C-alpha cells in the first residue's frame, strides 16, 4: 500500500476481489479497506475512533487469512461455509465466538453500503453540495440503523469536520473533477456488485443480524 490514497487503486482492489465464479476474495476485500483507512487517516484525528474500529476488524480478518485455517478463508463464500459447518459463529447472542469472521466481515459489509451511497452522492453532486450532508444522508440510510445513539452522535460530530467537496476530489488523486466523476462511475458498479454478492450470501444463510 502506498502512502497517498488513490481512487484508482481502490477500484483495482475491488475489481481483483471478484473471482470468475463471482466469489469474493478476502485478501482483496481487506486490501480495499486498508486503502480506505489510509484515506480516512489523511483527513485528520477526528476520524481516528472510526479508523481504529475498522483497523481492528481488518486485523481480525487478516489473522484468519494468515492463520492455520487459512485455506478456509480464501473467499467470503468459503469462510461462511467453514464457520457455519464448524459452529464457529455466535448466531443469536455473543458467546464463545465473539469475533468470528462472519460477524466481523458483516460490520465492514454494512459500511460498504455507506460507501456506495456516499460515493454515488459525491458523483452526482454539484459545486454547492456539502460533503457533511452527503455523508450523513448516506449514513442515516445505512449504518446508522445498526449503531446505538452514542455512536450516532459521535459520528455526527465527525461529519462536521469533513473537508469540502473540492478537497475530497483532490485527495482522490484521480485528475480533475470530470475525471474523478468518470472514475466514480466506473467504481460504483463494482462496489455495488461486491456488496450485493455478500448481501445475498448472508441473506441466504440468515447471517444479516449477527450479534
Q: What are phi and psi of 125, to 5 degrees?
A: -75, 165
Position closest to ligand 1PX via CB? 111
54 binds ligand 1PX (CB under 6 A): yes
79 binds ligand 1PX (CB under 6 A): no
Exactly one of 88, 151, 182, 192 binds ligand 1PX (CB under 6 A); that residue is 151
Give dist(CA 43, CA 80) in Å, integer: 34
Min dist. Cβ of residue 174 to ligand 1PX (A): 9
Min dist. Cβ of residue 110 to ligand 1PX (A): 6
Specify the 3-state DSSP secondary structure of 75.
Answer: strand
Give dist(CA 172, CA 135) in Å, integer: 16
180 binds ligand 1PX (CB under 6 A): no
Site string for ligand 1PX, 109-148 (x = CB under 6 A): --x--x--------------------x---x---x-----
Min dist. Cβ of residue 71 to ligand 1PX (A): 26
Amino acid at each position: 500500500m502506498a502512502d497517498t490514497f488513490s481512487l484508482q487503486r481502490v477500484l483495482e482492489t475491488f475489481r481483483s476481489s471478484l473471482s470468475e465464479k463471482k466469489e469474493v476474495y478476502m485478501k482483496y476485500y481487506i486490501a480495499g479497506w486498508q486503502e480506505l483507512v489510509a484515506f480516512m487517516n489523511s483527513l485528520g484525528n477526528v476520524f481516528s475512533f472510526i479508523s481504529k474500529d475498522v483497523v481492528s476488524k481488518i486485523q481480525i480478518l487478516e489473522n484468519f487469512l494468515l492463520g492455520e485455517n487459512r485455506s478456509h478463508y480464501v473467499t467470503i463464500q468459503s469462510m461462511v461455509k467453514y464457520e457455519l459447518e464448524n459452529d464457529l459463529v455466535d448466531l443469536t447472542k455473543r458467546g464463545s465466538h465473539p469475533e468470528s469472521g462472519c460477524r466481523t466481515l458483516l460490520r465492514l459489509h454494512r459500511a460498504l453500503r455507506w460507501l456506495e451511497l456516499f460515493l454515488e452522492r459525491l458523483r452526482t453532486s454539484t459545486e454547492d453540495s456539502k460533503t457533511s450532508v452527503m455523508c450523513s444522508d448516506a449514513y442515516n440510510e445505512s449504518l446508522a440503523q445498526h449503531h446505538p445513539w452514542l455512536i450516532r452522535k459521535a459520528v455526527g460530530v465527525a461529519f462536521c469536520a469533513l473537508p469540502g467537496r473540492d478537497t475530497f476530489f483532490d485527495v482522490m488523486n484521480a485528475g480533475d473533477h470530470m475525471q474523478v466523476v468518470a472514475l466514480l462511475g466506473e467504481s460504483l458498479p463494482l462496489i455495488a456488485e461486491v456488496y450485493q454478492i455478500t448481501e445475498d450470501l448472508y441473506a441466504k444463510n440468515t447471517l444479516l443480524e449477527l450479534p
